Homo-oligomer: A and B are copies of this chain.
């Protein structure tokens, strides 16, 4: 599709980059991985992108079949990934894993709820023998279900039917807790995290990232 600035290379990598290689494009896709979003939600998640550029990217991604916009006539438009766009998820996870070892960006740097949740999904290795449970997690004013089941963590939009524990915090605080679960009680004390329910459940969830359960599939193949 992109004739003007195409790589003009038949390789799959180059053709993929013709579609999602423009600046901000992959971060927009990242934001849409967990749940469809509105324009203003994307702007909040990506505060460093200007509105016109976000608008351009969304249109280009839509033209190329990566993103679809629903509710064209009434109410706020919702942007969501197409089937094909959703297939970028493994690639984005691999890219994110690689980027963990990159130097930290200059402060101040943003951190969207989606970013932290995707990291949580990918990094947590809970005990596969533990009984399934759902947690309620409010980040940036939006509620998510954190489902721990069969040795992995899955994040779903919306509140769970029944929650083992409910917590509310900010993405940056959650990210800090995932790096150092030991600061949980301090974070609760000074109000950066509010927990309703079973605190040890939260402890175990956080430690599933830094201290993966050591079983059959705990360590990477390599």
Footprint of B on A, CB under 8 Å? 1, 3, 6-19, 21, 23-24, 26-27, 30, 46, 48, 64, 84, 87-88, 90-92, 94-106, 108-112, 115-116, 118-119, 172, 175
Contact = CB atoms under 8 A, between A and B. Distances in A.
B105 A94 contact: no
A26 B13 contact: yes
Contact of A11 (B23, B101, B115): B115
Contacts of A19: 99, 102
Number of copies: 2
Contacts of A8: 48, 105-106, 108-110
Nearest to A11: B115
Contacts of A119: 11-12
A168 to B, nearest CB: 20
Given A9-B46, A9-B112, 20 more contacts: A7-B24, A8-B48, A8-B106, A9-B48, A9-B105, A10-B104, A10-B109, A10-B175, A11-B115, A12-B97, A12-B98, A12-B99, A12-B100, A14-B105, A15-B99, A15-B105, A16-B99, A18-B99, A91-B94, A91-B95
A3 B107 CA distance: 10
